[in-house]
């Protein structure tokens, strides 16, 4: 049996690092888990943390804002292993709120939406049969969904192509640039919009990969990991933070999706939280806290 190969983006810290830990424990000698980071020093420090725990992740540089960096990782993995079995698109940012809305929208759309889209497009050609792609959305997006106009809600619900989803994200950016985003039905929650984009994108990518005859049993799903204390949420304080869970607990749902057994046929293009499928655009799953 060839070793399983897994890649986790943005895994030098936070939930990404916890997912690498869980996958290293799961596969042991039977897998190679790539801990990737945009900064070599931070990445190597994270590798050392896991080595001290007796685990053996492999490091590779990866910046999800840079297609050349994605292609280098893909080509290196193809040369060494022939393909990849698990891709977890975890890297994400929450911009500062004190910068102009347009800058927030561009930053978060670039990393949280385009970073996911481009990673999956770049890696799909080498994803082996039985491969699992997991993308980090957020319940914050489900909350934001109810702050956009009904017309935009319908358009997100009805997307059937990647171009339509990207078109909606571009419309949002344009509206923030022109300053009339509120009158056009968009809220000032660029993080949430970027994650709505991930959920809509995942639905379409899942449908597309199911129809792709060259791919057998490849599943693409997205999830919310929960509300977790990480660098992203480090400034959060108060009552709301009581519902926070640990980083290792946060890794549970994405790792579960990355290890779905062969022949799983009811999880494709879905949004999952606490290992449960929810309809991001129909069920009212608005959380009380940031998730
Ligand atoms: N924490 C929560 O409660 C929560 C809830 C729902 C969803 N999420 C989602 O879960 C994912 C992980 O979040 P987290 O809380 O673990 O955040 P985090 O601790 O801030 O970690 C984010 C990771 O993404 C990396 N990253 C950012 N931009 C990158 C880029 N261009 N290329 C490569 N890596 C990049 C960061 O690298 P650097 O260290 O170099 O910055 C870091 O490793 C995100 O997608 C987030 O939106 C988190």
Does the beta carbon of 16 lie inside 6 Å of ligand 1? yes
CATH placement of domain 4-96+110-148+192-278? 3.40.50.720
SS3 142: helix
Q: Which of 113, 191, 227, 280 is catalytic?
A: 191
Condensed to tens digits (0 to 9), the pLDDT of residues 249-287 reads: 999 999 999 999 999 999 999 999 999 999 989 877 777
Q: What is the pLDDT of residue 238?
A: 77
Q: What is the pLDDT of residue 117?
A: 98
Q: Is 191 a known active-site residue? A: yes
To test ligand 1's pocket by mutation, which of 10, 65, 140 has the most ligand atoms within 8 angstroms of CB?
10
Which residue is closest in CA terms to ligand 1's atom 29? 91
Q: Which residues pair with 127 in a beta bridge?
A: 84
Q: What is the pLDDT of residue 179?
A: 95
Q: What is the pLDDT of residue 291?
A: 67
Regions in the chain scoring below 50 on pLDDT: none
Residue given tokens 């897998």 in the structure block: 31
Q: Which residues pair with 224 in a beta bridge?
A: 273
Instruction: Starting at the earlier edge strand, list the strands of the sheet with 271-273.
Output: 58-61, 31-37, 4-8, 84-89, 127-136, 219-224, 271-273, 276-278
d(CA 250, CA 135): 14
Q: What would the two tokens of residue 279 be?
A: 């309809």
Does the beta carbon of 131 lie inside 6 Å of ligand 1? no
User: For the CA atoms of 44, 50, 55, 59, what is the dihedral angle to 10 degrees?
Assistant: -20
- CA 213 / ligand 1 centre spacing (Å): 33
284: number of Cβ within 10 Å: 10
Nearest to 30 by CA among 60, 54, 6: 6
Name, in order, each residue with C-beta under 8 angstroms of 41's C-beta and a sequence gap of 6 or more. Answer: none
Residues in the chain: 291
152: number of Cβ within 10 Å: 20
- CA 10 / ligand 1 centre spacing (Å): 6
């Amino acid at each position: 049996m060839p070793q399983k190969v897994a890649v986790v983006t943005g895994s030098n810290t936070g939930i990404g690092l916890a997912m690498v830990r869980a996958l290293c424990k799961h596969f042991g000698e039977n897998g190679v888990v790539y801990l990737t980071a945009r900064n070599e020093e931070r990445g190597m420090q994270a590798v050392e943390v896991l080595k001290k725990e007796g685990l053996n992740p492999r490091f590779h540089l990866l910046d999800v804002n840079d297609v050349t960096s994605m292609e280098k990782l893909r080509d290196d993995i193809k040369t060494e292993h022939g393909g990849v079995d698990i891709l977890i698109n975890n890297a994400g940012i929450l911009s500062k709120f004190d910068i102009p809305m347009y800058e927030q929208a561009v930053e978060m759309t670039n990393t949280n939406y385009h970073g996911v889209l481009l990673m999956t497009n770049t890696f799909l050609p080498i994803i082996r049969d039985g491969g699992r792609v997991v993308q980090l959305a957020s319940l914050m997006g489900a909350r934001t969904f109810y702050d956009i106009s009904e017309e935009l809600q319908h358009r997100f619900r009805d997307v059937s192509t990647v171009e339509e989803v990207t078109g909606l994200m571009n419309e949002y950016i344009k509206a923030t640039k022109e300053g009339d985003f509120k009158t056009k039905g968009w809220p000032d929650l660029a993080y949430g919009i970027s994650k709505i984009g991930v959920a809509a994108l995942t639905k379409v990518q899942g449908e597309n990969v199911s129809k792709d005859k060259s791919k057998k049993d490849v599943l693409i799903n997205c999830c919310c990991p929960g509300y977790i204390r990480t660098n992203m949420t480090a400034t959060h304080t108060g009552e709301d933070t009581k519902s926070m869970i640990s980083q290792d607990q946060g890794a549970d749902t994405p790792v579960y999706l990355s290890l779905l057994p062969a022949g799983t046929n009811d999880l494709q293009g879905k949004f999952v939280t606490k290992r449960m499928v929810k309809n991001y655009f129909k069920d009212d799953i608005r959380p009380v806290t940031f998730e």
